[in-house]
Structure 1
Amino acid sequence: MPAHITRRSLTRGITAATAVAALATGLAACRGESDAATRTTDAAGTVTVGRLSNGAAQETTLKVPEVKSISAGLPAAVRKRGTLVIGSGTLPSGSPPLGFVGDDQKTVTGSEIDLGRLVAAVLGLKPEVRRSTWENLFIGIDSGKVDVGFSNITDTEERKRKYDFASYRKDELAFEVKKDNPWKFDGGYASLAGKTVSVGNGTNQEKILLEWKARLAKEGKKPLTVKYFQESNSIYLALNSGKIDAYFGPNPNLAYHAAKTENTPQATRIAGQFSGAGETLQGLIAATAKKDSGLAKPVADAINHLISGGQYAKWLAAWNLSGEAVPKSEINPPGLPLNNS
């Protein structure tokens, strides 16, 4: 997900001591970042998407009444509580257009958060957004402090060991380079030989990139060098100064940045794309809940209701993501294999 990720241990298993320490920090961060946007003035049965987006989206108000036949499937504890706690792993610097601080410098907005709010409306629940770092997002889900992560989370077979998924968008990754860099990613890892690429630590794209690095080494090709940075500003400083050749990350983030810098001295471009599920499978982004929590089905049903009612298409269009639409939400569909080959 975002460039500011600091550990990959979370999605690959963490020690008990690390988990305890990170849990305390992460939950404190979550509590401190509860989103003011969840307490909006939207009229009952409506959700406004694209609010305070600083030009990243077209603000659009959608009718989204509760569907009692769907909300009846919620776990009793969630239904009684009346809130849906939505996790966003976008600290510290944000990840536009997926999740970031809006125009008022305090409200968390973004395409992922807006979908969470739409789902909450269908379920008759009040949305409560909690921001954390990427790794602490998963700790929040594990602990039950977060109900569902809406944070550009890729469906993978490894993650299915701990989480249930309800898919809602294609997972497209991309390579971003300086605009004057002629290099293109042609879909094959061989084109990365001799390149230096930045990637977010702990992400699905890191897993893919490290496997490509290992293949190149095994084949005796020029090495692929992988660089890590704490946040996106550092990545783009490195890209503009030539310290890295490319940044490998989620297509929505990179396409947004490229569009924003188009007419500046720091202009970038997209040099190629790759499915987040590897070479043979279309990757999927999914709402993520604790395994066997009972949330995946009502969330998937809510998303499918939004698809059939047209609100889903309007949400994507508002955020310029229509090209990543899926025909339906699936529960735990095939994801990135354990071995990305």
Structure 2
Amino acid sequence: MATQISRHGLIRGITAATAITALASGLAACGGDSDAATRTDTAGTVTVGQLSNGSAKETPLKVSEVKSISAELPAALKKSGKLVIGSGTLPSGSPPLGFVGDDQKTITGSEPDLGRLVAAVFGLEPEVRRSTWENLFIGLDSGKVNVAFSNVTDTEERKQKYEFASYRKDDLAFEVKKDNPWKFDGDYESLAGKTVSVGNGTNQEKLLLEWKAKLAKEGKKPLTVKYFQETNSLYLALSSGKIDAYFGPNPNLAYHAAKTAGTPQATRIAGQFSGAGETLQGLIAATAKKDSGLAKPLADAINYLIEHGQYAKWLKAWNLSGEAVAKSEVNPPGLPLDNS
């Protein structure tokens, strides 16, 4: 997304995943967006990792409005009293980044949790709105969503329409069956003859399609790209050998590999790659409509959380400490328009 965020990942195994998918599909049928309940903490406390079915360590964090930062917000947003946070995780969820919690209605995950922390710094009530990946950007364009916290990769192409405040490294990965000896060492030529699944409209799809075009131009064996709307279908295809690998955000894939360890469906990570290409460390960023005036206050809020320790505790709660950044930047260099 993602990068954009690829949306795939297991939630609790087949039974819970099926239930959550059914819930999500019902919500999608009502217009593609879910205004799922937001869990509100006592004043001055945001508890991250709630209702996460063991995906995170529930951790209460003290954070209150910082007047010098909330004063930077556009007047209309401040007057509204709430920050609408977009999560592009319909239909299946994308743990640990964003998924439906144990109560079958609250949106949990590392991404909405950071959005709630930022809302607290702003002195606003968080409202997490769930949609498909494609509708996430439609929500930003239309103003239904103020900011996306949804594993969105900072890219130069996206800067034509959006502005960014970075908050996490963007590392992608290839996931394969555990007994598959194939490895990705950063050389796209190793993908010749492979069939790989990727999320539609994601940053990793852009990279994969560029590699596919290069292989075709060089007369190599073709790279076949497959798409799946549902998590269960994706992993059934991987388990049955219909696809060789899945290319997606490292947090999702590492989570799934850990959950399937010791089962007949066991998988492993076969290699990683920066979401911004071979020569630039990719960055995940809070994403707002261009010229919304939100990028700077978002970056200031994230930097406040970094400086005061809540950021590190948020990452630790979700087992993502290895993806920490030293500071949030406004519109840092992203995936180039021409990544060849």
Tell me if TM exceeds 0.5: yes
3-state SS of the aligned residue for 1:85? strand
Q: Any idea what the Cα deviations from partners look like across 1:144-189, whole Å, max 9, x if unmatched?
A: 0100000000000000000000000000000000000010001110
What residue number does 2:130 align with? 131
Cα distance in 2 for residues equivalent to 1:27 and 1:45: 34
Cα distance in 2 for residues equivalent to 1:27 and 1:287: 27
The 5 Å alignment of 1:1-341 reads 1-3=5-7, 28-30=31-33, 33-36=34-37, 38-40=38-40, 42-341=41-340
Q: TM-score, normalised by structure 2?
A: 0.92
Q: CA deviation at 1:275?
A: 0.1
**Residue identity matched to 1:203:** T
8 Å contact from structure 1 (residues 26, 132) kept in 2? no
Q: CA deviation at 1:327?
A: 0.3
**Residue identity matched to 1:35:** A
8 Å contact from structure 1 (residues 173, 248) kept in 2? yes
3-state SS of the aligned residue for 1:168? strand
8 Å contact from structure 2 (residues 167, 285) kept in 1? yes
Q: CA deviation at 1:3?
A: 4.1
Q: CA deviation at 1:2?
A: 2.5
Cα distance in 1 for residues equivalent to 2:338 and 2:95: 30
3-state SS of the aligned residue for 1:332? coil
Q: Any idea what the Cα deviations from partners look like across 1:287-321, whole Å, max 9, x if unmatched?
A: 00000001111111000000000000000000000
**Alignment gaps of 5+ in structure 2:** 9-27
Q: TM-score, normalised by structure 1?
A: 0.91
Q: CA deviation at 1:106?
A: 1.1
RMSD value, Cα = 1.2
3-state SS of the aligned residue for 1:28? coil
Moved over 4 A (4+): none
8 Å contact from structure 2 (residues 154, 335) kept in 1? yes
8 Å contact from structure 1 (residues 66, 123) kept in 2? yes
Q: Any idea what the Cα deviations from partners look like across 1:248-282, whole Å, max 9, x if unmatched?
A: 00001000000000011000000000000001000
Q: Any idea what the Cα deviations from partners look like across 1:225-270, whole Å, max 9, x if unmatched?
A: 1111112111100000000000000001000000000011000000
Q: CA deviation at 1:96?
A: 0.4
3-state SS of the aligned residue for 1:328? coil
**Residue identity matched to 2:194:** K
Cα distance in 2 for residues equivalent to 1:145 and 1:3: 21
Q: CA deviation at 1:29?
A: 3.0
**Residue identity matched to 1:28:** G
Q: CA deviation at 1:35?
A: 2.6
- CA separation of 1:109/1:3 partners in 2, compared to 1, >3 Å: closer, same or farther? closer
Q: Any idea what the Cα deviations from partners look like across 1:63-104, whole Å, max 9, x if unmatched?
A: 001100000000000001110000000001100000001111
8 Å contact from structure 1 (residues 27, 140) kept in 2? no
- CA separation of 1:140/1:176 partners in 2, compared to 1, >3 Å: closer, same or farther? same
8 Å contact from structure 1 (residues 178, 268) kept in 2? yes
3-state SS of the aligned residue for 1:141? helix
